[in-house]
Each structure stands twice: as structure tokens, then as C-alpha cells.
Structure 1
Amino acid sequence: MNVRRICVLRCKSLLNSKYLRSSQIVGVRKLTSPSGSSPKVCIVGGGPAGFYTAQHLLKSHLDIRVDLFERLPVPFGLNVINTFTQTALHERCNFFGNVSVGKDVSVAELRQAYHAVVLSYGAEGNRHLGIPGEDLRGVYSAKDFVGWYNGLPGNKELRPDLSSETAVVLGQGNVALDVARILLSPLDILKKTDITQPSLEALAGSRVQRVLIVGRRGPLQVACTIKELREMVNLPGTMADMVTADFEGVASVLKDLSRPRKRLTELLLKAAQGGTSGQVGAPRQWGFRFLRSPLEILPADDLTSAAGIRLAVNVLEGSHEGARAVPTGEVEELKCGMVISSIGYRSLCIDPVVPFDQHKAVIPNTVGRVRPGAGLYCSGWVKRGPTGVIATTMNDSFDTARSLLQDLEAGVIDASSVKPGSRAVLSSLESRGVKWVSFSDWEKIDKEEVRRGQRIGKPREKILDVAEMLRVAHS
């Protein structure tokens, strides 16, 4: 399988269950341009939002040309979908990796070179806990931790401390479960994945035996989806460790829940009651801890590393998914040497000319249209915030693409004007010494990673150094 930047265990939640393939766009009128006119669109970001936007534009407009610029030398981010490869290979689509927009080339330059620019670069920043002890050794963001075991170049030096018996993950979404699963997975399972060799070696020496997944609300508000929860409860060599009191009254409201929430809650109840396929007495445990909010990471005697976490005990006001967590004034402490914050990501402003809401960490927009001025759009997390599953990103990106196509048809975007497109941008990049990576260059990296993996019995061994990627790509 042509996979980049995936650990298979994480891929199951990021790829198989939620990623809907869209091989057909139904009910969209195919647009064309006047003779000799081909609208040129630049998309900033080579992840799912960028590729879904490109896919819709290419399928819906017979003349449009799309260039994708990505900060990393590789496409797809943490995800690979066959249809993304098909899009990248489309005759009217080009991929340019290792190009950092806002640094190597400005948004203003892109707007001069293209009829429209779509910002789809996702959320590269971390949300901070804002509590004492957050900077202690042993405290990590889930974004960095996931990047470490998935082989993102920026996280290769993380070297997490895995010497403690108990780890606490703050947040109860799919990423939190992915992290817990990596920490507790038997080594023989991890060896069959394309997790990086340094991460595999570190996890082989891990002493983590127990992972507690902490959330501020209750079982009816847990943010993960059923597939990820099912993989957690069925993980060999582990057993669920829940607090029975957290589930009081939950069974009585099952009939009032939506079908997805009902199925998820039923599986939670089953796990709490010890009725899953997990092994009673298994050496490793995991469990949710509900109605808890972090107050402070507690230091060890050396005052430099984490030794525990102090949590506020909450009660819920309201019901079901709209319930709000309210502190009771009671606190409790958990001993742990590792804390991983999975409370969400933040988009960043990559160029001061782009309007940006620093509080919400999004680009203000109307159905993807960025104001003021025509020709600037956004899609994905930078448009709506880091929420939803892949189907949300797909539909969101299609909405942005439709807005752009409507503006083309209405003449809001003047496609009759001559724009140089990638020719001008690549010329500027070359003069600045930027070595961009084409999709065919990426295929060389892909082939080399697969070759290295086969030598050691893995599906892939990822190249972790950007300079080495570039050497392979341009060989």
C-alpha cells in the first residue's frame, strides 16, 4: 500500500473508518472556460482538505488547473487515500513539496500568479493547557507524540520518557485513543506496522503498563468514535479499568440517544462491566476517567520532571451531549510520570496579509470565501477549527470548492486575465534556493522507504530527515 506518514494503528482511525472515498461528484454541472482561458488555482496545504478541494475543482471544471504547495517534501500529511494519489497524478494537477508558504513564497505572490488561492494548511500549533507544570519533563502534546511515532521530521528528536508505569492522556477523542493504543500495544503488533524504527526501539523498552484517558465530562459526551473504541477494548494483552460509579444511570438513557451515540455508549458500558474481549488479569490496563479537569502537573523531587497530576472533580449541568462540566471544588491526584495533552490543535497565521482570528485560530470566512477581496479562500481546519472526522473535512472542502466555482461562473474571479501560475512561483523559488519536490520526486522517496522497510521485515521504514528526503527525491 502506498502509504506515507502513517502508523497502521493510527491509520485505522485516520483512514479506514472515517475516510469516505468520493469517486463521483453527483449533481455538479461541469463548467468550462472561454476558449484559451484556463483558470489557475493554487492550494496551500497537501493534506486531506487540500486534496479534497483539488479533487472537486478538477472533477467539476474541465479547464481548471490546480497546483498544491506543501510545507513538507511529502504529500497527504498523516493520511493516504487512493483517490488522493489519483488527484495528484491528474493531468491538470501539480504537487510541489518542501515549499513553506509565508516563508519561501508569500501569499501576495501567489495571488499575483493565480486566479484564486485556497488556504488549506491545517493546524500546526498546539493548544496549551495553561496550568502549572506544563513545561515539566514527561509532559507532551499529542500532536508531537503522534508526529514522533509517525515519523514527522519536526518530531524526530522528541525522545519521550517512557520509564513510568502510569501515563495520563488528557482528552477523550480519537487521537487520545490512538496514543493510548500505541503505548500499550504488544511489540509483535507494532513490528508489523510502519512505525519508525527509533520509536519502535523506544517502545520496546517502555515501562508503561497503565494508561488513563481523562475527560472533563461524562460517558455520554466522550468524543471518540466507535471504531477507535472497539480497537482499544480488543487490544491483546490489555484490560479495561473503569470506575463503575461513572456509569450510574447511563443504561437508563440509552433509548433516548442517537444511534451512533447509543452504540458507542453500549460498548463503553460493556467494557466497564468487563464484558469485552479484553483479558481479565492482563498485564496492561487502560481506562477512561470522567468528570475530571487538569489543574496542575505535579513535579517530582527533582522539580524538573512530572510525578503526578492534580485534577478538579466536576459535575454535569444539562444533559446528553450539551451537558457542561462544572467544578465541585473537590480535587484528586493521580501518580504518573507521563502526561500527554490531547486537547486539540491550533491553526497558525502563516502570512500577515491573511485575515486571522487569533482567539478562534481560524481564518474568518463565509462558506470558504475570505474577506475582503475576491480570489482568496480557505478549507479544512484553518477554515472551521480542528474538529470533525474526515467526512467533515471532505464536505467542508467541497463547499469551499463550490464557492470558488460559483465565483468563477459569476465573473467575480476574472479568469480571462493572464496568470503565470507555477511558472512564476517556481522561478522565484529557484532564485531563493528552495528545492521543491514534485509528485514524481515523492514517488522516489516512497519507493526508497518501502525498500528500506522490506530489508527489515516492515511495510516501510520512513526517512526522518528532510535533507535526506531531498537527496533521494533529486537523485
Structure 2
Amino acid sequence: MRHIAIVGSGPAGYYTAEAAVKKWGEDVRVDVFDRLPVPYGLIRTGVAPDHQSIKGVSRRYEKVALAGNVRFVGNVSAGDDVTVAELQQFYDAVIFATGAPEDRKLGMEGDDLANVYGSAAFVGWYNGHPHFANLDPDFSGRHAVVIGMGNVALDVARILSKTDEEFAGSDIVAHALDLLRGSRLETITILGRRGPQQIMMTPKELGELMHLRRASPHVDKSDLPPEGDDAILEPGLRKSVTLLRDFAAIPQSIHGETPISIEFDFFASPRAIHGVDGHVRSIEVERTTVEAGRAIGTGETYELPADLVVSCIGYRSSPVEGVPFDERAGRFANDEGRILPGLYCVGWAKRGPSGTIGTNRPDGYGVIDLVDADIGLGSRKRGREGFDELAEARRLDIVTFRDWQKIEEAEEAAAREGAPREKFVDIESMIAARRP
């Protein structure tokens, strides 16, 4: 019998559990740990609340979680409630699938001012992550700046722009919806160091900006390269750049009809954030040029008004005591998924924040092949039996998958009209909801 511990219950975690069951059948026991009482990681707290179709992949993970030899161990923090060394005593392999839940820091003057947020915190706030539920952003100003040229920046800009009616069918949490109703934003500037042909935005997400009721996107035509240059781009990026050209062609009269303008500011690198009385008021930007794909500062600077700043420049994994960590890369130090004997990582914890949800599937299957090669038929370790004895001795309050289903039922019952659920945004309420 093989005993596997997976730390993290997001896509990487459940694809890895699925791979383990397919590889070994009844000859494996898999425990999937999560520090929160609820599963699915970024499917729950990272995917935009108005992208419900993407969240449907959780049904696949549910089938895995309900397999007889897979167990969800929620509300248990590996590294705090139980050490990594203790997990290794009980399990043949411990696999970190913890993702990259921390923001990459801007690392510039003023990044600690009030109303300056990283996207992990800001997205977590409107998605109901318990660690960010009390964020309380201020939307009384007129100008927001979103730093970054990926889909997360688009998500943030779109959420800031939508009307109440446009959130129908989404699971944006009530506290975020209430604050956004009072927003006085008029401009949302999306700031990117490089040019249109270097964006990481995908066509679907870009295209959504064309259908917002109270906002319209704008691109300065002078930022666009000659149209013939698009021919060398890969098809997805070519479609995205074509959409940017469509934005540039929107008549000024259309912009005048919408109260919010979404401005794409290319070749613009943030240099400092300035504030008054501790609150952000502007951002200093340096004009850049792109050479060999890299943004090079020109020395020309200008100031953008900014009452709210959201930095969407990437994520980092969280270090865990006893697990080697690559500080520069922001992920666990590993060789193709191997960290140390018996210790592995998968997904963003392995490769950094790149790829789609589906990218984690081959990653999960790949790490199980490594584990299979390393542990063979397994050992005489005690697996979940040993962990359960430790958990009882420490009085850990474990949340099971059946408990989660009760939490989910309570969230669905509390949903506003048209919404799929109203998430609990604090751990105490989640745990209370599992009880009759």
C-alpha cells in the first residue's frame, strides 16, 4: 500500500490525486490537505466571479474527492498544525500543490500607501477569500491604475467597470458588490511596460471589454505597430492585437457615451507611487521602448492620477519551514518536481505562476510517475492512521469533504437571486455551517 499526502486542494492537487488513483487503483491512500476548510484553491478564490463556466471544472475534482481512497483534510495547515517532517513520517510521498498565493511585490516607493493592493489580495477580496475579506478598498476617487498586461489585470478592470445587472449569475461576494455600487471611478488605466505585441492577454478576456455597459476600452493608435507586423505572431496573440486595433478604432463619440474609460497605456513602466496623508494620489511612470523583447527606460517620465492602484505583476509561492525554497523564482526549489527524497511539488508551486488550469493535469500525472519510480510498492508507513492519531492528540478540527458539501449547500441556500452561491468569507462561519 502506498500513502500519499498532497498539500493543497486546487487544480494541481486534485489532478495529482486523480493521477494517483489511476496509477495505483486500490493500492493507494491519498490525503489532500488544505489550510482552509473549503477545497478547490484558485477555482474558488482566484477565477473571476463572472466566469462561472471555468469554475465548472470543480465537478471533476469532486468525483476524485469522493473516491473511497481519497480524503479531503481541510482546516489543517502543513507547516503549522503539522510539520512537514511529521507528514513524511506517515506518508511515502508528500507533494506540495500549494500554488502561488502571494503577490510579487512592486518594490518601489509608495507601494505601501493606502489603496495600493496586489492582485492576490484584491482578487481575494472580491472572491471572498477569508484572508482578504476585510480589505475595504476606497472607490470614492475618480482614477484607478491597474499595473500589468495579463488576464488578471483584465479581470480587475472588468470587475471595477461592471454594473449591478452585469454581475447577475456571478458569485461575487456581497461585501464587494456593496462597495462597488458606490464607486465613482471614471478612468481605469491598464499600465504595461512593453507594447501591444508583448501582452499576455487572451482574446476571450479582451473581447469582454467590448460588451461592458458603462465602460469602453481605448488604445492610442500611435502605440500600435504597423499592421503587417502582426503576421509573425502566434494566432492567439494575433487575435488579441487585432482586438486592440479594434479598440483604437472606436469613435470618440462612443467613449463619451460611457461613464468609465478603460485606457491602455503601453510602453509605460511605473517608477514610484505618490500619496497625500498616506493615501495614494498618483503614480510616476517612465516611457519605455522595446528592444529584443525587453522594456528599456527612455528617461522621459510623467505622472498619472491614481486614487486606487492594483498591481497584477505575478505571484509567488509561500515558503514552508523545512522545504527548500527558491526566493528568486518564488517557488519551491526542485528538479522537475523532486524537492528532497519523499518530498515533491507540482503546479505553480513547482514551475511558478504560468499556464492555464488544464496545464496542471499533465503536471499532476508527471509527478505521480516520479513518485512511482521513487517509492515502488510503498513502505510500511502508517499513512492516514498515523496522522489521525496526531490530529486527535492535537485536537485539530478537521473538515472533511462531506463537511464541505454541507458548507456548499448553505452557501447555495444563502445566494441572492440569480447567483449560484453566497460564499462564507470567514473560517468560523464555514466551520459552523457544516454542523446540523
Band of TM-score, shorter chain? over 0.9
For 1:52-131, list aligned pairs within 5 A: 52-62=15-25, 63-79=27-43, 80=55, 81=57, 82-131=59-108
1:380 is aligned to 2:357: no
* C-alpha separation in 1, matches of 2:435 and 2:381: 28
Local SS of the residue matching 1:266: helix
The one-letter code sitting in structure 1 at the alignment partner of 2:362 is N
- Equivalent of 1:174 in 151, 169, 185: 151
The one-letter code sitting in structure 1 at the alignment partner of 2:34 is E
1:472 is aligned to 2:433: yes
After superposition, the Cα gap between the structure-2 partners of 1:474 and 1:422, relative to the gap in structure 1 and judged at 3 Å, is farther
| Residue 175 of structure 2: aligned partner | 198
The one-letter code sitting in structure 2 at the alignment partner of 1:445 is I
1:253 is aligned to 2:229: yes
1:307 is aligned to 2:281: yes
The one-letter code sitting in structure 2 at the alignment partner of 1:425 is F
* C-alpha separation in 1, matches of 2:147 and 2:89: 44
Query: What is the CA deviation profile of residues 295-337 of structure 1, one whole-angstrom value per residue up to 9, with x for unaligned ones?
Result: 111112x3x111110011100102xxxx000000110110110
* C-alpha separation in 2, matches of 1:188 and 1:452: 19
* C-alpha separation in 2, matches of 1:433 and 1:242: 57
Q: Which runs of 5+ in 2 are unaligned?
A: 44-54
Local SS of the residue matching 2:108: coil
Q: Which runs of 5+ in 1 are unaligned?
A: 1-37
The one-letter code sitting in structure 2 at the alignment partner of 1:444 is K
* C-alpha separation in 2, matches of 1:191 and 1:260: 29
The one-letter code sitting in structure 2 at the alignment partner of 1:316 is V
- Equivalent of 1:397 in 348, 351, 364: 364
| Residue 6 of structure 2: aligned partner | 43
* C-alpha separation in 2, matches of 1:158 and 1:255: 44
Measure how far apart 1:49 and its partner are.
0.8
Contact 1:367 1:399 in 2 (8 A): no
* C-alpha separation in 1, matches of 2:218 and 2:236: 23
Measure how far apart 1:433 and its partner are.
2.5
Q: What's the TM-score, normalizing by structure 1?
A: 0.85
Q: What's the TM-score, normalizing by structure 2?
A: 0.93
* C-alpha separation in 1, matches of 2:210 and 2:20: 41
Contact 2:209 2:216 in 1 (8 A): no
Measure how far apart 1:449 and its partner are.
0.5
* C-alpha separation in 2, matches of 1:232 and 1:197: 23
- Equivalent of 1:365 in 331, 334, 340: 334
| Residue 290 of structure 2: aligned partner | 316
Local SS of the residue matching 2:339: coil
| Residue 421 of structure 2: aligned partner | 460
* C-alpha separation in 2, matches of 1:43 and 1:341: 30
1:266 is aligned to 2:235: no
- Equivalent of 1:189 in 124, 149, 166: 166
| Residue 373 of structure 2: aligned partner | 406
1:139 is aligned to 2:93: no
The one-letter code sitting in structure 2 at the alignment partner of 1:257 is L
The one-letter code sitting in structure 1 at the alignment partner of 2:319 is C
Contact 1:78 1:150 in 2 (8 A): no
* Structure (1 or 2) with the greater strand fraction: 2
Measure how far apart 1:248 and its partner are.
3.4
Contact 2:3 2:30 in 1 (8 A): yes
* C-alpha separation in 1, matches of 2:286 and 2:311: 16
Contact 1:57 1:405 in 2 (8 A): no
* C-alpha separation in 2, matches of 1:399 and 1:156: 36
For 1:222-241, list aligned pairs within 5 A: 222-241=199-218
- Equivalent of 1:290 in 256, 266, 289: 266
The one-letter code sitting in structure 2 at the alignment partner of 1:460 is R
The one-letter code sitting in structure 1 at the alignment partner of 2:281 is A
Contact 2:255 2:261 in 1 (8 A): no
- Equivalent of 1:164 in 141, 161, 165: 141
| Residue 5 of structure 1: aligned partner | none
* C-alpha separation in 1, matches of 2:426 and 2:243: 41
Query: What is the CA deviation profile of residues 398-439 of structure 1, one whole-angstrom value per residue up to 9, with x for unaligned ones?
Result: 22122122334xx4xx61x22211122122122223211000
Tell me the percent identity.
40
Contact 2:96 2:349 in 1 (8 A): yes
Measure how far apart 1:282 and its partner are.
1.6
* C-alpha separation in 2, matches of 1:193 and 1:208: 21
Contact 1:239 1:280 in 2 (8 A): no
| Residue 11 of structure 1: aligned partner | none
Contact 1:236 1:279 in 2 (8 A): no
Contact 1:191 1:200 in 2 (8 A): no
The one-letter code sitting in structure 1 at the alignment partner of 2:102 is G
* C-alpha separation in 2, matches of 1:457 and 1:193: 8
Further displaced range: 110-119 or 396-405: 396-405
The one-letter code sitting in structure 2 at the alignment partner of 1:282 is T
1:345 is aligned to 2:304: no
* C-alpha separation in 2, matches of 1:343 and 1:257: 23
| Residue 51 of structure 2: aligned partner | none
Q: What's the C-alpha RMSD, in Å, of the aligned pairs?
A: 1.7
* C-alpha separation in 1, matches of 2:266 and 2:364: 34
Further displaced range: 125-134 or 443-452: 125-134
Measure how far apart 1:166 and its partner are.
1.2
| Residue 6 of structure 1: aligned partner | none
The one-letter code sitting in structure 1 at the alignment partner of 2:285 is L
* C-alpha separation in 2, matches of 1:310 and 1:174: 23
Measure how far apart 1:263 and its partner are.
1.4
Contact 1:237 1:279 in 2 (8 A): no
Query: What is the CA deviation profile of residues 100-123 of structure 1, one whole-angstrom value per residue up to 9, with x for unaligned ones?
Result: 000000111111101111011111
* C-alpha separation in 2, matches of 1:327 and 1:78: 35
* C-alpha separation in 2, matches of 1:332 and 1:395: 45
* C-alpha separation in 2, matches of 1:401 and 1:49: 12
Further displaced range: 387-396 or 151-160: 387-396
Query: What is the CA deviation profile of residues 39-84 of structure 1, one whole-angstrom value per residue up to 9, with x for unaligned ones?
Result: 1111000111111111111122222221100011000013142211
* C-alpha separation in 2, matches of 1:286 and 1:472: 40
